[in-house]
């Protein structure tokens, strides 16, 4: 039996008064509803108690990795995606700060080419023998430190849109001072290269992790397909093959067809495929309700519909779930359960939504049990 895991990042949400429904409930999603009708549903806790509701925590939990044992930070996972190693690695956003306020955590969606120019200039002026920046995709970049430091407290920039940054700068010890100094200096370096971003924002740093091997545990050939370094890093760390797709943006203008086709091709020669997409989460962070509804419907048509038209679900088991909710009202993640559906056994649920899946036969599930359900 082949297995396909579909993860539309940030799709779950809260009920909106204007809709009298969540965006997922309101959207037209015949293909995701088909998976719910042909399978069994439930709600799953993807963020363990005591952890921030990041995509790193949620997706590791979905894949059966106990983050209490193995998690060290987002930055190190993204470094894995690029084959980089250092004593410590941080995600390093290119952001736009205006009058001390976090105006845009994504540097106005700075393009890859322009972002690389910024990273090159940051390295020219600020790097040294143990500190270096590395380009990623768009605003998502890396800062690597090949020197031992203690822990530091940082804040995800997408959590503080519209807020004064001073209360959220790095704190605790020598490393906090190093990061603050870099951030202040970047305010002088970046504007000479671009008008879209004007500051770096390092966060979620840590030491390089050592994850369990997913393929060995489950006895499968496993593949990860994603638009973002974070999931690609998780895939590499778990011993999966990582497949790159051309034309991906991590936004709603991405190459959906290419992603869906890559998943179908991967299933021909492998047993387990993860297809993670980012666009719905991005428009959720923007707080755009209409665009989130459109993004959900686009995902349903261009990813789920395309795949269902070309797969035999009698031979391919499908699991569908967002990694975490990203309420449009908050513009950031929350640590609340998400709906899931898995084809195999059937229950009475007819629609894939937060409300409907609560009535599914699986009930409420701990995220670390999802793969046990999928591989049963």
User: For position 344, what pLDDT does the model report?
Assistant: 85
How distant, in Å, are the alpha carbons of 8, 275, 292, 340 from that of 321?
7, 11, 16, 5
Predicted TM-score (pTM) of the model is: 0.88
Residues 102-125: what's their mean pLDDT?
97
* Assigned token pair, 169: 């700068």
Residues 53-58: what's their mean pLDDT?
96
Q: How many other C-beta atoms are found inside a 10 Å radius of the C-beta of residue 191?
A: 14
Give Cα 51 to chain centroid, integer Å.
Answer: 15
Domain limit, last residue, from 139, 171, 206: 206
Say whether both 265 and 164 belong to one domain: no
Confidence of residue 179 (pLDDT cuts 50, 70, 90): very high
Say whether both 243 and 307 belong to one domain: yes
Domain of 161? Answer: 85-206
Q: pLDDT (tens digit, 9 = 90+) per residue, 190-220?
A: 999 999 999 999 999 999 999 999 999 999 9
Residue 342 predicted with pLDDT over 90: yes
Domain limit, last residue, from 206, 240, 265: 206
- Beta carbons within 8 Å of 62's beta carbon, 6+ residues apart: 5, 7, 44, 46, 321, 323, 367, 370, 371
- Asked if residue 77 belongs to a domain, the reply is no
Q: pLDDT (tens digit, 9 = 90+) per residue, 261-271?
A: 999 999 999 99
Structurally, the chain folds into a number of domains equal to 2
User: For position 172, what pLDDT does the model report?
Assistant: 85
Q: How far apart are CA 372 and CA 357, in angstroms?
A: 19
Residues paired with 319 in a beta bridge: 5, 342
Q: How far apart are CA 318 and CA 273, in angstroms?
A: 10
Say whether both 215 and 336 belong to one domain: yes
Whether 322 contacts 59, CB under 8 Å:
no
* Assigned token pair, 39: 């399978």
Domain limit, last residue, from 187, 206, 225: 206
Residues 175-185: what's their mean pLDDT?
97
Residue 79 predicted with pLDDT over 90: yes
Q: pLDDT (tens digit, 9 = 90+) per residue, 363-373?
A: 999 999 999 99
How distant, in Å, are the alpha carbons of 128, 134, 183, 199, 221 from that of 122?
11, 10, 11, 10, 40
Residues 97-106: what's their mean pLDDT?
97
- Asked if residue 316 belongs to a domain, the reply is yes
Q: How far apart are CA 243 and CA 222, in angstroms?
A: 11
């Amino acid at each position: 039996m082949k297995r396909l895991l579909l993860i539309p990042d940030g799709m779950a949400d809260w009920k909106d008064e204007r809709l009298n429904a969540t965006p997922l409930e309101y959207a037209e999603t015949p293909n995701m509803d088909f998976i719910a009708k042909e399978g069994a549903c439930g709600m799953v806790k993807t963020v363990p108690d005591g952890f921030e509701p990041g995509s790193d925590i949620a997706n590791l939990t979905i894949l059966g990795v106990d983050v209490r044992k193995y998690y060290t930070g987002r930055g190190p996972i993204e470094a894995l995606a690029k084959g980089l190693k250092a004593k410590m690695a941080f995600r390093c956003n290119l952001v736009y700060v205006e009058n001390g306020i976090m105006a845009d955590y994504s540097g106005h969606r700075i393009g890859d080419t322009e972002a690389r120019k910024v990273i090159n200039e940051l390295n020219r002026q600020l790097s040294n023998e143990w500190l270096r920046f590395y380009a990623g995709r768009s605003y998502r970049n890396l800062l690597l430190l090949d020197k031992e430091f203690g822990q530091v407290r940082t804040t995800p920039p997408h959590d503080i849109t519209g807020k004064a940054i001073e209360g959220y700068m790095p704190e605790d010890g020598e490393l906090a001072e190093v990061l603050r100094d870099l951030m202040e200096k970047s305010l002088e370096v970046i504007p000479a290269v671009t008008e879209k971003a004007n500051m770096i924002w390092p966060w979620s740093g840590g030491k390089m992790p050592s994850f369990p091997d997913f393929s060995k545990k489950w006895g499968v050939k496993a593949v990860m397909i994603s638009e973002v370094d974070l999931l690609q890093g998780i895939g590499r760390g778990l011993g999966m093959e990582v497949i790159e797709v051309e034309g991906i943006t991590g936004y709603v203008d991405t190459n959906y067809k290419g992603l869906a086709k890559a998943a179908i091709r991967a299933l021909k020669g492998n047993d387990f495929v993860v297809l993670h997409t980012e666009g719905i989460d991005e428009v959720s962070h923007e707080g755009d309700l209409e665009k989130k509804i459109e993004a959900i419907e686009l995902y349903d048509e261009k990813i789920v519909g395309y795949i269902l038209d070309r797969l035999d679900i009698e031979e391919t088991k499908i699991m569908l779930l967002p990694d975490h909710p990203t309420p449009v009202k908050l513009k950031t993640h929350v640590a609340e359960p998400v709906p899931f559906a898995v084809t195999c056994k059937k229950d009475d649920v007819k629609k894939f939504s937060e409300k409907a899946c609560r009535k599914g036969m699986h009930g409420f599930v701990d995220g670390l049990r999802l793969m046990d359900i999928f591989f049963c």
